[in-house]
Amino acid sequence: MRFNHIYSITIILIMLLLLINCAPREEDNLKVRNEIASANENFMTAFSQGDAAALAALYTENGQVLPPNSEFVTGKEAIQTFWQTLIDMGIKEANLEIIEMDGHGNTAIEISKYTLKGEGGQVLDKGKYIIIWKKENGQWKMHRDIFNSSMPVQEEE
Nearest in space to 40 (alpha carbons), one of 115, 90, 138? 115
Give CA–CA dist 67/143, Å, rounded.
Answer: 14
Pairing of strands 107-117, 93-104: antiparallel
125 Cβ neighbours under 8 A, 6+ residues apart: 114, 115, 116, 149, 151
What the chain holds in terms of domains, given with CATH numbers, is: 25-149 (3.10.450.50)
Other residues' Cβ atoms within 10 Å of the Cβ of residue 40:
22
13-43, pLDDT tens digit by residue? 676 555 555 555 666 778 899 999 999 999 9
Greatest CA separation for the chain: 81
pTM of the predicted protein model: 0.80
Terminal C-alpha separation, the chain: 81
The residue type at 15: M
Distance from chain centroid for Cα 116:
17
91-134, pLDDT tens digit by residue? 999 999 999 999 888 999 999 999 999 999 999 999 999 999 99
